[in-house]
Amino acid sequence: MRIRAVSPIPPKESMNVEEIARKTLNKRLPGASLAMNTKISDINTDSLIMMEMKLELEDELGIELPDEAVDKIKTVGDFISLVKSCSQGQTAPDDDGRTAKRA
């Protein structure tokens, strides 16, 4: 009897994580400037919109974005970096910018 190893389901290959995060931002904030250094506070984003984007990305990518980390997001770049680090199996960056691998 042969046993075949089954690998985990890979993330969506059609778009990379940054493209998926940007698509989510564009959907929730149509017409907003989404440069990496754009401040979240400058694009009329409130905590409800951030939570909706968080939940949407968690569902779409099968990841967990910690609420505390989402609350600390200041720029579009911060948002995309958080999504990328969590999708790579890392925890959210801590206060001094370091990330840790999940167990």
Spell out the domains of the chain, with CATH numbers in brackets: 23-87 (1.10.1200.10)
pLDDT given for residue 65 in this prediction:
94
In sequence order, what are the residues at sequence separation of 6 or more whose Cβ sits closer than 8 angstroms to the Cβ of residue 15? 23
pLDDT tens figures, 73-90: 999 999 999 999 998 886
Span 20-42, average pLDDT: 91
Distance, CA of 103 to CA of 91 (rounded, Å): 10
User: At 72, is the pLDDT very low, low, confident or very high (cuts 50, 70, 90)?
Assistant: very high
pLDDT averaged over the chain?
79
Query: What predicted TM-score, i.e. pTM, was given to this entire model?
Result: 0.70
